[in-house]
Structure 1
């Protein structure tokens, strides 16, 4: 059962390619942005590392303003590979020493899937917040989730992830985060 449990001391948040031009064509972009912001707040409250990526920002644009602001304008790692587990992103994630990774982002069946697959292949345990990832079509979204589950990712949701990290009610973090989940 440890594979399904999150612990704030061994977990990082990876936000993949929530960028202006990509978000503009996503049907559920507001939900993805809102849930990613909840996970960012949880990560910050619990002192968890946050890594943000951008797929070819010259063509797809920068990370959307709401996400940039939520991560305190932290610089995003640029990439052209679909998988985010490469180069400086790989080095930054490995340097955290965390072996569990929560993933949010776009698109479920491409960059999110390829990153999850590569992380799992390299010994990470991956948690996908299914309500914080999306694709242009429902079919591709569902296929991406299925592929990730097949390779060993845990498919969860924002609320389940936050409450698993919290473990108990009544803490200062609980008071902050429970207000965000309505």
Structure 2
């Protein structure tokens, strides 16, 4: 018997929020390298399966800094089309970002952001209010403290989000490692253990 409501590469879209070199440096609940590895695994997952992906950043010319340069290498088109927010905390309150999400035409949304307690929590709450189904990839982001991270994850879960991890999400998207997409996604996981 299969699970109901499975997120697949054909029904979900991915939102990567504020994976900026400065902002990532403010995270203390997970190591920079681990968080970066997971964010790049998600980017590679979207690329390998042609899943729609929306990137956004906030105030790149300030302390937050630019998005991870690897994102430009992995997802050149999404990087080029990234939504440059001028300081709006809740990305869903940025009309360009909200329109980009809507334009994917998908109601299942995978979200990873830095930081979970500021950049991720508010768009997730808005997406849920708007009727989207949301999975938050908690280990592709973090917060300044473990307590702050836990509070944001509890708040999102209580609002109806599914809290997941990078490998768990990739396995759900794969469904079957021997399928075409499954073998590509297995490659993403294997590569992460070799780096």
TM-score normalised by the shorter chain: which range applies? over 0.9
Which of 106, 111, 118 pairs up with 1:110?
A: 118
Alignment match, 2:73: 69
Alignment match, 1:179: 187
Cα distance, 1:152 vs. partner? 0.6
Cα distance, 1:172 vs. partner? 3.0
Structure 2: which 5+ residue stretches go unaligned? Answer: none
| 1:124 matches 2:132 | yes
Q: Distance in 2 between matches of 1:19 and 1:173?
A: 29
Task: Say whether the 8 Å CA contact 1:33–1:67 is kept in structure 2.
Answer: no
Task: Say whether the 8 Å CA contact 1:32–1:105 is kept in structure 2.
Answer: no
Pick which of 96-105 and 60-69 moved more.
Answer: 60-69
Deviation per residue, 1:99-135 (Å, 9 max, x gap): 1111112111112000100011111111011111211
Alignment match, 1:82: 89
Cα distance, 1:144 vs. partner? 0.7
Alignment match, 1:14: 15
Secondary structure of the equivalent of 1:126? strand
Cα distance, 1:19 vs. partner? 0.6
Secondary structure of the equivalent of 1:180? helix
Deviation per residue, 1:14-65 (Å, 9 max, x gap): 0110112112232422112111111111112222111111112121211021
**Matched residue count:** 181
Task: Say whether the 8 Å CA contact 2:128–2:159 is kept in structure 1.
Answer: yes
Deviation per residue, 1:80-115 (Å, 9 max, x gap): 211111311100110110111111121111120001
Which of 136, 142, 145 pairs up with 2:153?
A: 145
Q: Distance in 1 between matches of 2:74 and 2:103?
A: 22
Deviation per residue, 1:123-169 (Å, 9 max, x gap): 11110111112111111111110110011100011111111111112
Cα distance, 1:2 vs. partner? 3.4
Alignment match, 1:160: 168
TM-score, structure 1 as length reference: 0.92
TM-score, structure 2 as length reference: 0.86
Q: Distance in 2 between matches of 1:38 and 1:177?
A: 9
More strand by share: 1
Secondary structure of the equivalent of 1:21? helix
Q: Distance in 2 between matches of 1:18 and 1:116?
A: 16
Task: Say whether the 8 Å CA contact 2:26–2:143 is kept in structure 1.
Answer: no
Alignment match, 1:98: 106
The root-mean-square deviation of aligned C-alpha atoms, in Å, is 1.5
